[in-house]
């Protein structure tokens, strides 16, 4: 029993996952075929070496033979490997063709890598029904810095997972905002680079409900190791419920935009937003990591005119790590974080900006 | 016609200046080898920092930004500072002796090629202390992480690469010319030792791809400072263009680091098997095929960037083909051992370990070349395991084998066999403990270039880190053995090894400062 | 090849030149690096310039003494035929490496032109990238870039059949004139050597002048700059590196002219000249490729 348990554990930990899609199982089988062929080749080659090292050693009185050429043999060990390669190439080709055969999709999700989080947009012909959210690491800093015990899903958990229905063809449109990332969920055998300025497609049909985890798989800067992916595959009904809730939540946020926020409300929300979205670069104390990530404390745009300050946060700065947050955060969060920066860490400018104003700017009011 | 004797039989200059001004191939070879060893330790210390951070989950030793700098500098220093100069050092020492030439073809330029390197690496290492830190975008420096998002030191990194490029190009021109023009009369190409052959081909790879690397870093420089659009979609360029050009250099580069190793092993195995190398000619053809194929497979590093299917299939098939000529080499080595009369001195141990462990690395390389499977392997520790198997017990072991094999010829003294064997076994065990578990963590899904990882990978990482320290500290023993041998020891004979063939073994040990000022006449078994 | 009879091979004694050359290179790039970083960071400092000038000086002097030394050794007849063959091989493979340097840039041009410009617009096999750039139309030469804010496009490109054609003729002619000079050396006709070399150098200088004029026109009148998107980028990088090589080649030929004036070169001892001439032919061939791929097919 103990042994069986161990074997199951081992199987999970030392080999490629079989995954939960038709494709991922094909890839797993392919992996096993080439792996076993390689092991066999290894056994033959190393076996021959072992035999020779044991039998043909000088200490056993071996006398060296004089042969040093054999054209037939040379042909043989050119042809046999070619045959083995063909045996490997055939299933590889057909699996690849299946992977590239996209077909009509049921759901389209834009996956956008942004230094060090993922933004998912559920595309919809009706823009009002489009659902968009940012998914970032939720492991507390304390666990990372060894001040708290690490939980089971250390570094592979997010605040807002992607949710998809099972048995539906989901198409991913993968792109990036800044540098190259790669969206990888091993259980789907999907790994595709997110390249700024380009969109690449990938797709999956998941056949078991569950929580599937992955990670960014292309070095993308400082927090490349802290950019996990979590996908919840749920039944179709649950998916519809989730989607409706999301759409409703978006509508509620829209309503709060209209209302007048107090300074304290903005500061409180602002602090949370800052910690979630900004502190990775500008640090909790606002001092940044100069020269790459500038300090916001007592200098620069954060203590200058509010228009320029707002502009850089909404639109980012092209060609630097400073992203356009206008599409990532909602107007209330944006107003809050701007207000926060202008008044935290002794910046104390005392002014603030309302969500409604942000909304105007975003919908073109400012231009 | 020739009025003055062209070769005043000058000895080495006195004092330390000897090493700065020397034009002697043996001195320059020594410089290269020591430089390479120093870089090996430097890059090794960085690897040990990486491994210490990864010993346990959580951030302990270094912050993520320094971790990325360590990974980047480790890769760059090992590739350009440790392995390549080590082989150039061997080339300098051995090629003139093996082909019966008085020296390298262009001795002054030879010195120039070497002395650029300390400056280039000084520049690169100094970036660790610059504002914003050292390059942190991986040794592959993909745009736009390295262009729009790189630290200011990127500019100096680029110039450092230019300098290494100039050094390599001059070095390889020198090697090509020496081989093509300075062979002793009667030494036809097909009489050259395989080490010379592999270096000739390597040198061609170098002059073909180092300029391409120079080109791609120049494009980066322009993108950074002059707003050109090579790697920005917004201006009509493409970040993937960077990868195509980089890997057009990068893939031949990995064979630059292994072909001379093939040459070394092809010299050592016949000696200790006391039997001629099996299939000399097919070895030459196999090496050439590998070199040729290496130019047309580069995109196998980019299977996940979204290449159209026809491209993926082409690059997969072409890459797989490399297994055939490489297999020929492996089989030939095995056939050389077969029915020999083997003894297992340290060089032979390293050579045999090379064949076994390189083959393991090669087989995992073949697995990586299978596109659908590579979607799962790519950018995980499976890749890290693959390339360390071909590079550390591959290239690095072959350099160690070469040092043990030729050290008696260079110094005139035998090394301490018991210590040598200890060094071998510690290294062999250490390296496998370090890199074998990485196959598993990779398959289980651990991405590379991360400073911290999910809990499921903890065990393998801990084992791997222990192995790294074992392997790393064993290299101090290597250093000790070398210094001990230089300072004294049992005197070596001319032939040193019972089964050794080739011109260098006809010279006294240690080899005199100038050899073959007049070419040798007996070339009968130049390649053993 | 080496089957010929044994000739002693000259192995020079130790030399300080290489270490100075290394220091020179180091100072030069260190200086340029500082200048570039200061420029990009908006800092004003003389350090970079001073280092660069120092480096340039060291490098220039070292090269001067190095080549003088080689010429001197050559005149002392220290060099055997075998030695001269080494120089021939060395120069040929150096030119080959230069070819590969240009190949990187030509490769970039092909890739962008054949694939990327379409791909960004979502045309072809690489995914619906056009979604990201709704206002973009794939077209070559690429004048309206996907992101005109960062890469303001040009209003036009330089047509092949104007000045570039003139330049082509100039360079092709100069390839001939340099060969005439070579023939003159073989015939031992010093006056001719000097004449033809002067003509060649002059053609090179005119070429450079025309090229410079064209650049000014592109920058001022067409808005075609390094930063005007990938057309400007590839255009200036290819023609610019070529121009740099023409400058170097002209300089080499100028030196050969001075040497000819001093009475160097005989029919069997003129490798310095031949090396410069090969380099010149190489520069010419690159130009023809440029003319075809950048101007004729690109415009
Ligand atoms: C010395 C260096 C070296 C060598 C020799 C090789 C050899 C090979 N490599 Fe490796 N490789 C690297 C260094 C090297 N590699 C490095 C540094 C990287 C990572 C770069 C980075 O991203 O940082 C890399 C990455 C890499 C990748 C990209 C992985 C990824 O990022 O997803 C691939 C994919 O195809 C690959 C394939 C191969 C193949 C097919 C060979 C073949 O040449 C191997 C051939 C050998 C054999 C197959 C074994 C012997 C043969 C037989 C016994 C005959 C019988 C065998 C059969 C019929 C199968 N390598
Ligand atoms: C030839 C090349 C080469 C060599 C020899 C090595 C050697 C080693 N490498 Fe490395 N490695 C690369 C090439 C190489 N590597 C490359 C190209 C990368 C990719 C980089 C990238 O992703 O961009 C990489 C990446 C890489 C990683 C992945 C990092 C990551 O993805 O984040 C790891 C992790 O374990 C690693 C480990 C090691 C170890 C433990 C060694 C050991 O063999 C090292 C042995 C240790 C020593 C030799 C140290 C000895 C020194 C002492 C004992 C101290 C003495 C002190 C004084 C004298 C003061 N390497
Ligand atoms: Cu995003 Cu790595
Ligand atoms: Cu490769």
Task: Give chain B's domains with CATH numbers.
Answer: 21-506 (1.20.210.10)
CA quadruple B92, B98, B99, B100: dihedral, nearest 10: 100
**Cβ of B44 below 6 Å from ligand 2:** yes
Examine residue A342 and state whether it is found in any structural domain, yes or no.
yes
Report the number of distinct structural domains present in chain A: 3
Lowest mean pLDDT among A33-37, A182-186, C124-128, C247-251: C124-128
In chain A, which residue's Cα lies nearest the Cα of B239? A195
Which residues lie closer than 8 Å to C8 by C-beta, 6 or more apart? B2, B5, B6, B7, B517, B518, C80
Task: Provide the pLDDT for residue B6.
Answer: 44
**Core vs surface per residue A208-235: b (16+ CB within 10 A) or e:** eeeebbbbbbbbbbbbbbbbbbbbebbe
pLDDT tens column, A51-66: 999 999 998 888 888 8
Over residues A252-281, the mean pLDDT reads: 84
CB atoms within 10 A of CB B527: 24
CA–CA separation, C169 and C161 (whole Å) = 11
Over residues B276-295, the mean pLDDT reads: 95
Task: Tell me, yes or no, whether A233 and A144 share the same domain.
Answer: yes
Closest residue to atom 38 of ligand 2, CA basis: B47
Closest residue to atom 1 of ligand 3, CA basis: A181
Ligand 2 atom closest to the CA of B83, numbered from 1: 1
CA–CA separation, A301 and B128 (whole Å) = 30
Q: Dihedral of CA A96/A98/A101/A104: which sign?
A: negative
Task: Tell me, yes or no, whether A234 and A264 share the same domain.
Answer: no
Lowest mean pLDDT among A69-83, A249-263, B381-395: A249-263
Task: Provide the pLDDT for residue A344.
Answer: 86
Name the strands in the sheet holding A107-114, side by side, starting at the edge strand that comes first in the sequence.
A131-135, A117-122, A107-114, A170-176, A200-204
Would you tell me which residues 40-79 of chain C have a C-beta closer than 8 angstroms to some C-beta of chain B?
40-41, 66, 76-78
Q: Dihedral of CA C78/C81/C83/C84: which sign?
A: positive
Element counts in chain B: helices (H) and strands (E): 18, 0
CA–CA separation, A3 and B473 (whole Å) = 36
CA A359 → CA A139, A311, A322, A341, A350, distances in Å? 31, 13, 21, 19, 21
Mutate to test the pocket of ligand 1, among A27, A38, A40, A41 (most ligand atoms within 8 A of CB): A41
Which residues lie closer than 8 Å to B412 by C-beta, 6 or more apart? B491, B492, B508, B509, B510
Task: Tell me, yes or no, whether A292 and A321 share the same domain.
Answer: yes
Task: Provide the pLDDT for residue A119.
Answer: 94
Largest Cα separation within chain C, whole Å, is: 73
Does B253 reach chain A within 8 Å, measured CB to CB?
no
Ligand nearest to the CA of A180: 3
Would you tell me which residues 136-195 of chain A have a C-beta closer than 8 angstroms to some C-beta of chain C?
173, 175
pLDDT tens column, A149-166: 999 999 999 999 999 999
Lowest mean pLDDT among A247-261, B133-147, B414-428: A247-261
Question: What residues of chain A lie within 8 A of the CB of C126, using their CB?
Answer: 198, 200
- Residue B343 class from Cβ within 10 Å (0-12 exposed, 13-18 middle, 19+ buried)? middle
**Cβ of B285 below 6 Å from ligand 2:** no
Greatest mean pLDDT among A191-200, A287-296, B178-187, C11-20: A191-200
CA–CA separation, A353 and A340 (whole Å) = 10
Over residues C251-268, the mean pLDDT reads: 87
Does residue B523 carry a pLDDT above 80? no
Q: Given pLDDT bands bounded at 50, 70 and 90, which one contains residue B47?
A: very high
Task: Tell me, yes or no, whether A225 and A263 share the same domain.
Answer: no
Does residue A362 carry a pLDDT above 90? no
Give the containing element (helix H, strand E) for C63: helix C47-75
| Ion ligand 4 neighbours, Cβ < 5 Å | B 251
Q: Given pLDDT bands bounded at 50, 70 and 90, which one contains residue B10?
A: low
Examine residue A332 and state whether it is found in any structural domain, yes or no.
yes
Chosen from A96, A105, A171, A197 to mutate, greatest number of chain C CBs within 10 A = A197
Task: Provide the pLDDT for residue B106.
Answer: 93
Q: Given pLDDT bands bounded at 50, 70 and 90, which one contains residue A222?
A: very high
Q: Of A83, A101, A119, at which residue does a domain stop?
A: A101
Chosen from A95, A319, A321, A323 to mutate, greatest number of chain B CBs within 10 A = A319
Examine residue A135 and state whether it is found in any structural domain, yes or no.
yes
Task: Provide the pLDDT for residue B525.
Answer: 63
Task: Provide the pLDDT for residue B527.
Answer: 65
Q: What 3-state class would DSSP assign to B1?
A: coil
CB C189 within 8 A of CB C245: no
Using alpha carbons, select from C22, B212, B446 the residue that is nearest to residue A14: B446
Q: Which of the residues of B are catalytic? A: 74, 103, 139, 167-168, 251, 253, 255, 266, 300-301, 326, 329, 448
**Domain-by-domain residue ranges, chain C?**
14-78, 81-296
CA–CA separation, C107 and C238 (whole Å) = 11
Examine residue A3 and state whether it is found in any structural domain, yes or no.
no
Over residues B11-19, the mean pLDDT reads: 83
Question: How far off is chain B from C260, nearest CA to CA, in Å?
Answer: 23
Question: What residues of chain B lie within 8 A of the CB of A152, using their CB?
Answer: 455
Task: Tell me, yes or no, whether A306 and A358 share the same domain.
Answer: yes
Angle of helix C230-261 relative to helix C190-217, nearest 10 degrees?
A: 160
Mean model confidence pLDDT for chain A: 88
Does residue A202 carry a pLDDT above 90? yes
In CATH, what number is assigned to the domain containing residue A293?
1.10.760.10
Q: Given pLDDT bands bounded at 50, 70 and 90, which one contains residue A290?
A: confident
Over residues C70-94, the mean pLDDT reads: 86
Lowest mean pLDDT among A191-200, B43-52, C121-130, C221-230: C121-130
CA angle C129, C133, C139 (to 5 degrees): 85
Does residue A366 carry a pLDDT above 60? no
> Rounded to the nearest whole angstrom, what is the distance from the C-alpha of residue A168 to the centroid of ligand 3?
27
CB B77 within 8 A of CB B43: yes
Closest residue to atom 33 of ligand 2, CA basis: B47
- Residue A248 class from Cβ within 10 Å (0-12 exposed, 13-18 middle, 19+ buried)? exposed
Q: What DSSP state is assigned to residue A365?
A: T
In chain A, which residue's Cα lies nearest the Cα of B225? A319
Task: Provide the pLDDT for residue B362.
Answer: 97
CA–CA separation, B8 and A280 (whole Å) = 67
Question: What residues of chain A lie within 8 A of the CB of B378, using their CB?
Answer: 182, 191, 217
Say whether C150 and A175 touch across the interface (CB within 8 A). Answer: no
Residue numbers of the domain that contains A120: 107-254
CA–CA separation, C31 and A288 (whole Å) = 29
CB B125 within 8 A of CB B104: no
CA of residue B24 relative to chain centroid, distance: 23
Which residues lie closer than 8 Å to A94 by C-beta, 6 or more apart? none
Task: Provide the pLDDT for residue A3.
Answer: 37
Q: Given pLDDT bands bounded at 50, 70 and 90, which one contains residue B478?
A: very high
Q: Which chains touch B (3 or more CB pairs under 8 A)?
A: A, C
CB B104 within 8 A of CB B187: no
Which residues lie closer than 8 Å to A7 by C-beta, 6 or more apart? none
* Torsion angles phi and psi, residue A113, rounded to 5: -80, 130
Say whether C129 and A201 touch across the interface (CB within 8 A). Answer: no
- ipTM associated with this complex: 0.92
CA–CA separation, B453 and B431 (whole Å) = 22
Task: Provide the pLDDT for residue A1.
Answer: 30
Ligand nearest to the CA of A217: 3
Q: Given pLDDT bands bounded at 50, 70 and 90, which one contains residue B339?
A: very high
Using alpha carbons, select from C231, C221, C276, C223 the residue that is nearest to residue C253: C276
Q: Given pLDDT bands bounded at 50, 70 and 90, which one contains residue B12?
A: confident
Q: Which chains touch A (3 or more CB pairs under 8 A)?
A: B, C
Task: Tell me, yes or no, whether A221 and A132 share the same domain.
Answer: yes
Task: Tell me, yes or no, whether A185 and A229 share the same domain.
Answer: yes
Residues with CB under 6 A from ligand 1: A 41, 45, 81, 84-85; B 140, 254, 257-258, 300-301, 319, 322-323, 326-327, 330, 359, 362-363, 365-366, 368-369, 374, 377-378, 383, 386-387, 390-391, 394-395
Q: Given pLDDT bands bounded at 50, 70 and 90, which one contains residue B1?
A: very low
Using alpha carbons, select from A286, A294, A289 the residue that is nearest to residue A346: A286
Say whether A152 and B455 touch across the interface (CB within 8 A). Answer: yes
Bridge partners of A113? A118, A176
Start-to-end CA span in chain A (Å): 70
Does residue C1 carry a pLDDT above 80? no
> Rounded to the nearest whole angstrom, what is the distance from the C-alpha of residue B262 to the centroid of ligand 2?
22
CA–CA separation, B102 and C167 (whole Å) = 47
CB B475 within 8 A of CB B40: yes
Residues with CB under 6 A from ligand 3: A 113, 181, 216, 218-220, 224, 227
Does residue B206 carry a pLDDT above 90? yes
Alpha helix positions (H), B397-457: 397-411, 417-443
Say whether A199 and C128 touch across the interface (CB within 8 A). Answer: yes
* Torsion angles phi and psi, residue B51, rounded to 5: -65, -35
Does residue A98 carry a pLDDT above 90? yes
Say whether C6 and B228 touch across the interface (CB within 8 A). Answer: no
> Rounded to the nearest whole angstrom, what is the distance from the C-alpha of residue B69 to the centroid of ligand 4?
23
Q: Of A254, A277, A312, at which residue does a domain stop?
A: A254
Using alpha carbons, select from B92, B112, B10, B22 the residue that is nearest to residue C14: B22
Question: What residues of chain C lie within 8 A of the CB of A175, using their CB?
Answer: 129, 132
Say whether C127 and A200 touch across the interface (CB within 8 A). Answer: yes
Task: Tell me, yes or no, whether A298 and A356 share the same domain.
Answer: yes
Q: Which chains touch C (3 or more CB pairs under 8 A)?
A: A, B
Task: Provide the pLDDT for residue B526.
Answer: 63
CA–CA separation, C73 and C246 (whole Å) = 28
Does residue A318 carry a pLDDT above 60? yes
Does residue A4 carry a pLDDT above 70? no
CA–CA separation, B370 and B361 (whole Å) = 15
DSSP letter string, C205-263? HHHHHHHHHHHHHIIIII---TTS-HHHHHHHHHHHHHHHHHHHHHHHHHHHHHHHHTT
Say whether C29 and B152 touch across the interface (CB within 8 A). Answer: no
A293 phi-psi bin (left φ>0, alpha ψ -120 to 50, beta other): beta
> Rounded to the nearest whole angstrom, what is the distance from the C-alpha of residue B64 to the centroid of ligand 3?
13
Q: What 3-state class would DSSP assign to B254?
A: helix
CA quadruple B349, B350, B356, B358: dihedral, nearest 10: -170
* Torsion angles phi and psi, residue C169, rounded to 5: -60, -40
Closest residue to atom 22 of ligand 1, CA basis: B301
Does A147 reach chain B within 8 Å, measured CB to CB?
no
CA of residue C160 relative to chain centroid, distance: 20
CA of residue C100 relative to chain centroid, distance: 12
Say whether B152 and A200 touch across the interface (CB within 8 A). Answer: no
CA–CA separation, B273 and A52 (whole Å) = 10
Task: Provide the pLDDT for residue B457.
Answer: 94
The yes or no reply on domain C81-296 and CATH 1.20.272.10 is no
Would you tell me which residues 276-305 of chain B have a C-beta closer than 8 angstroms to some C-beta of chain A?
276-282, 304-305
Does C150 reach chain A within 8 Å, measured CB to CB?
yes
In chain A, which residue's Cα lies nearest the Cα of C118? A198
CA–CA separation, B445 and B379 (whole Å) = 10
In chain B, which residue's Cα lies nearest the Cα of A40? B363
CA–CA separation, B474 and B431 (whole Å) = 10
Mean model confidence pLDDT for chain B: 94
Examine residue A38 and state whether it is found in any structural domain, yes or no.
yes
């Amino acid at each position: 029993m103990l042994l069986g348990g161990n074997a199951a554990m081992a199987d999970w930990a030392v080999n490629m996952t079989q995954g939960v899609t038709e494709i991922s199982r094909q890839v797993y089988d392919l992996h096993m075929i080439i792996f076993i062929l390689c092991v066999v080749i290894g056994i033959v080659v190393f076996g021959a070496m072992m035999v020779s090292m044991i039998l043909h050693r000088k200490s056993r009185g071996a006398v060296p033979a004089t042969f040093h050429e054999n054209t037939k043999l040379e042909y043989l060990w050119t042809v046999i490997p070619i045959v083995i390669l063909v045996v490997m190439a055939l299933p590889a080709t057909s699996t690849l063709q299946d992977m590239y055969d996209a077909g009509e999709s049921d759901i389209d999700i834009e996956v956008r890598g942004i230094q060090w989080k993922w933004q998912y947009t559920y595309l919809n012909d009706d823009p009002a029904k489009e659902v968009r959210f940012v998914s970032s690491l939720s492991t507390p800093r304390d666990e990372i810095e060894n001040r708290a015990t690490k939980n089971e899903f250390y570094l592979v958990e997010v605040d807002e997972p992607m949710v998809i229905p099972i048995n539906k063809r989901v198409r991913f449109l993968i792109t990036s905002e800044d540098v190259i990332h790669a969206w990888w969920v091993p259980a789907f055998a999907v790994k595709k680079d997110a390249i700024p300025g380009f969109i690449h497609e990938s797709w999956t049909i998941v056949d078991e409900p569950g929580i599937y985890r992955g990670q960014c798989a292309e070095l993308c800067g400082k927090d490349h190791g802290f950019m996990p992916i979590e996908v919840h595959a749920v039944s179709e009904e649950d998916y519809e419920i989730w989607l409706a809730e999301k759409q409703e939540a978006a509508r509620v946020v829209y309503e709060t935009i209209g209302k007048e926020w107090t300074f304290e409300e903005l500061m409180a929300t602002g602090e949370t937003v800052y910690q979630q979205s900004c502190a990775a670069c500008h640090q909790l104390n606002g001092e940044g990591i100069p020269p790459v990530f500038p300090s916001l404390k007592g200098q620069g745009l954060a203590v200058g005119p509010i228009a320029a300050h707002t502009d850089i946060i909404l639109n980012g700065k092209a060609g630097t790590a400073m992203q356009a947050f206008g599409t990532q955060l909602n107007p209330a969060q944006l107003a809050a974080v701007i207000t926060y920066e202008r008044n935290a860490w002794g910046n104390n400018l005392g002014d603030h900006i309302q969500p409604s104003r942000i909304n105007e700017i975003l919908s073109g009011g400012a231009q | 016609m020739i009025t003055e004797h062209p070769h005043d039989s000058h000895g080495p200059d006195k004092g330390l200046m000897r090493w700065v001004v020397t034009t002697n191939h043996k001195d320059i070879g020594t410089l290269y080898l020591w430089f390479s060893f120093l870089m090996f330790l430097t890059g090794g210390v960085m690897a040990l920092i990486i491994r210490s951070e990864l010993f346990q989950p959580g951030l302990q030793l270094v912050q993520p930004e320094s971790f990325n700098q360590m990974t980047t500098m480790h890769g760059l220093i090992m590739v350009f500072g440790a392995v390549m100069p080590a082989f150039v050092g061997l080339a300098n020492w051995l090629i003139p002796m093996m082909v019966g030439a008085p020296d390298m073809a262009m001795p002054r330029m030879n010195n120039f090629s070497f002395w650029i390197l300390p400056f280039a690496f000084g520049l690169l290492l100094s970036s660790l202390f610059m504002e914003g830190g050292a390059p942190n975008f991986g040794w592959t420096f993909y745009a736009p992480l390295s262009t729009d998002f790189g630290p200011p030191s990127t500019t100096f990194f680029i110039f450092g690469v230019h300098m290494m490029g100039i050094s390599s190009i001059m070095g390889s021109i020198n090697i090509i010319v020496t081989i093509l023009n300075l062979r002793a009369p009667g030494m036809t190409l097909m009489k050259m030792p395989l080490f010379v052959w592999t270096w000739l081909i390597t040198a061609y790879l170098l002059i073909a791809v180092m300029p391409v690397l120079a080109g791609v870093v120049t494009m980066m420089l322009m993108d950074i400072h002059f707003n050109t659009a090579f790697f920005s979609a917004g201006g009509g360029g493409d970040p993937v263009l960077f990868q195509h050009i980089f890997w057009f250099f990068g893939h031949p580069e990995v064979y630059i680091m292994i072909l001379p190793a093939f040459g070394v092993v092809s010299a050592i195995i016949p000696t200790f098997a006391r039997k001629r190398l099996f299939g000399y000619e097919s070895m030459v053809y196999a090496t050439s095929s590998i070199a040729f194929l290496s130019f047309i497979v580069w995109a196998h590093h980019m299977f996940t960037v979204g290449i159209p299917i026809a491209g993926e299939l082409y690059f997969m098939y072409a890459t797989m083909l490399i297994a055939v000529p490489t297999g020929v080499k492996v089989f030939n080595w095995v056939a050389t051992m077969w029915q020999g009369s083997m003894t297992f001195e340290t060089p032979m141990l390293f050579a045999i370990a090379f064949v076994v462990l390189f083959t393991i690395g090669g087989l995992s390389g073949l697995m990586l070349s299978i596109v659908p499977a590579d979607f799962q392997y790519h950018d995980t520790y499976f890749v890290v395991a693959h390339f360390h198997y071909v590079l550390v017990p591959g290239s690095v072991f072959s350099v160690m084998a070469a040092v043990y094999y030729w050290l008696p010829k260079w110094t005139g003294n035998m090394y301490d066999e018991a210590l040598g064997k200890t060094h071998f076994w510690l290294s062999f065990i250490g390296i496998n403990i370090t890199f074998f578990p990485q196959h598993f963590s990779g398959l289980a899904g651990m991405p590379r270039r991360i400073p911290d990882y999910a809990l499921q990978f903890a065990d393998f990482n801990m084992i791997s880190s222990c192995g790294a320290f074992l392997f790393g500290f064993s290299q101090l023993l290597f250093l000790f053995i070398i210094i001990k041998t230089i300072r004294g020891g049992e005197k070596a004979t001319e032939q040193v090894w019972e089964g050794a063939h080739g011109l260098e073994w006809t010279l006294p040990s240690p080899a005199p400062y100038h050899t073959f000022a007049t070419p040798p006449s007996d070339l009968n078994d130049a390649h053993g | 090849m080496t089957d010929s009879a044994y000739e002693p091979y000259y192995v020079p004694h130790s030399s300080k030149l290489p270490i100075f050359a290394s220091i020179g290179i180091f100072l030069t790039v260190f200086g340029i690096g500082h200048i570039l970083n200061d420029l990009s960071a908006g800092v004003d400092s003389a350090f970079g310039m001073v280092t660069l000038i120092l480096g340039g000086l060291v490098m220039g002097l070292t090269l001067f003494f190095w080549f003088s030394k080689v010429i001197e050794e050559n005149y002392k007849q220290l060099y055997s035929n075998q030695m001269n063959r080494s120089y021939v091989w060395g120069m040929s493979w150096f030119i080959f490496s230069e070819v590969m340097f240009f190949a990187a840039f030509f490769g970039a041009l092909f890739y962008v032109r054949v694939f990327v410009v379409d791909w960004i617009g979502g045309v072809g096999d690489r995914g619906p990238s056009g979604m990201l750039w709704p206002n973009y139309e794939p077209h070559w030469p690429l004048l309206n870039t996907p992101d005109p804010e960062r890469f303001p496009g040009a209003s036009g490109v330089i047509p092949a059949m104007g000045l570039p054609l003139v330049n082509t003729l100039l360079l092709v002619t100069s390839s001939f004139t340099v060969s005439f000079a070579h023939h003159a050396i073989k015939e031992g006709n010093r006056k001719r050597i000097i004449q033809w070399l002067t003509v060649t150098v002059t053609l090179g200088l005119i070429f450079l002048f025309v090229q410079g004029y064209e650049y000014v026109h592109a920058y001022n009148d067409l808005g075609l700059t390094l930063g005007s998107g990938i057309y400007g980028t590839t255009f200036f990088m290819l023609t610019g590196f070529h121009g740099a090589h023409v400058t170097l080649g002209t300089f080499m030929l100028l030196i050969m002219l001075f040497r000819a004036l001093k009475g160097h070169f005989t029919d069997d001892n003129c490798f310095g000249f031949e090396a410069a001439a090969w380099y010149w032919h190489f520069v010419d061939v690159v130009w023809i490729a440029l003319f075809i791929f950048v101007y004729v097919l690109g415009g």
